[in-house]
């Protein structure tokens, strides 16, 4: 399936998405997770695959007035839903493909790919683009709050556009990011979640 077909699919479920989440529980888990990832108050963070903005909101709660979030999703409808929930001058909203981001080189301190990695068809191209916009020394996280097995099961039973979107084992994701020039800091998965943290080497 192409990026366009995924955008149409996610446009179609944008209004329903938050109804499927336990938002209070999710927000607590996201807050705890961000603390563990070591997000600092003044960072500029790219939230790629922002969806309905639940992570965007958790990030804003962690950041100081000097912090910034660039929130991107391929589905314009998802971005609209997120924007209707969040009014904060520290965010900029974009509906773009992760392979071609409207950001300058080294623009952000951190990249969060939360619950989106399976949907990138050309992960090599995405990794290269995320590496370009990340500053040297900055971290990229591929993050999920469910097990790989659970995520793949959900996708397998979902619409045609995302049915074959699978989350690979952490080792495979780590290898791909290492090939893209990152240093791997963390690669772990369990029943509770999935995290690969990759650091862009300092020049």
Q: By CB under 8 A, name the binding residues for another protein.
A: 44, 66, 68, 70, 79, 83, 89-90, 92-96, 100-105, 107-108
By beta-carbon proximity to another protein, the closer residue of 10 and 194 is 10
- How far apart, in whole angstroms, are the C-alpha atoms of residue 135 and residue 108? 6
Shortest distance, position 12 Cβ to another protein, whole Å: 20
CB-nearer residue toward another protein: 18 or 96: 96
Q: How far is the CB of 137 from another protein (least distance, A)?
A: 16
DSSP-derived pairing of the beta strands 108-114 and 44-48? parallel
Q: Which is nearer to another protein, 44 or 200 (CB)?
A: 44
Pick between residue 67 and residue 118 the one whose CB is nearest to another protein: 67
Cβ 66 to another protein, closest distance in Å? 8
Tell me how far apart the alpha carbons of residues 63 and 19 are, in angstroms, rounded to a whole number.
Answer: 26
Nearest distance, CB of residue 82 and another protein, angstroms: 10
CB of 174 to another protein, least distance (A): 27
Q: What is the 3-state secondary structure (H, E, C) of 130-185?
A: HHHHEEEEEEEEEEECCCHHHHHHHHHCCCCCCCCCCCCCHHHHHHHHHHCCCEEE
CB of 26 or CB of 107, closer to another protein: 107
Are 111 and 89 in contact, with CB atoms under 8 Å apart? Answer: no
Q: Which residues contact 133 (CB under 8 A, 6 or more apart)?
A: 46, 101, 103, 104, 105, 106, 107, 108, 111
Nearer to another protein, 90 or 148 (CB): 90
**Gap between the Cα atoms of 66 and 85, Å rounded:** 21
């Amino acid at each position: 399936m192409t990026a366009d077909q995924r955008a149409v699919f996610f446009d179609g479920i944008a209004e329903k998405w938050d109804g499927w989440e336990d938002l209070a529980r999710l927000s607590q888990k996201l807050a705890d997770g961000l603390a563990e990832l070591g997000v600092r108050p003044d960072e500029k963070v790219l939230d790629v695959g922002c969806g309905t903005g639940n992570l965007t909101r958790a990030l804003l709660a962690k950041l100081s007035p000097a912090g910034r979030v660039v929130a991107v999703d391929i589905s314009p409808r998802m971005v609209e839903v997120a924007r209707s929930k969040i009014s904060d001058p520290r965010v900029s909203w974009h509906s773009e493909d992760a392979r071609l981001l409207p950001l300058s080189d080294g623009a952000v301190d951190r990249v969060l790919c939360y619950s989106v990695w399976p949907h990138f068809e050309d992960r090599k191209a995405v990794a290269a683009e995320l590496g370009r916009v990340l500053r040297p020394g900055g971290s990229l996280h591929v993050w999920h709050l469910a097990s790989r097995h659970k995520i793949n099961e959900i996708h397998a039973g979902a619409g045609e556009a995302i049915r074959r979107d699978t989350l690979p084992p952490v080792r495979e994701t780590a290898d791909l990011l290492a090939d893209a020039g990152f240093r791997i800091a963390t690669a772990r998965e369990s029943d509770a979640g999935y995290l690969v943290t990759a650091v862009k080497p300092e020049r």
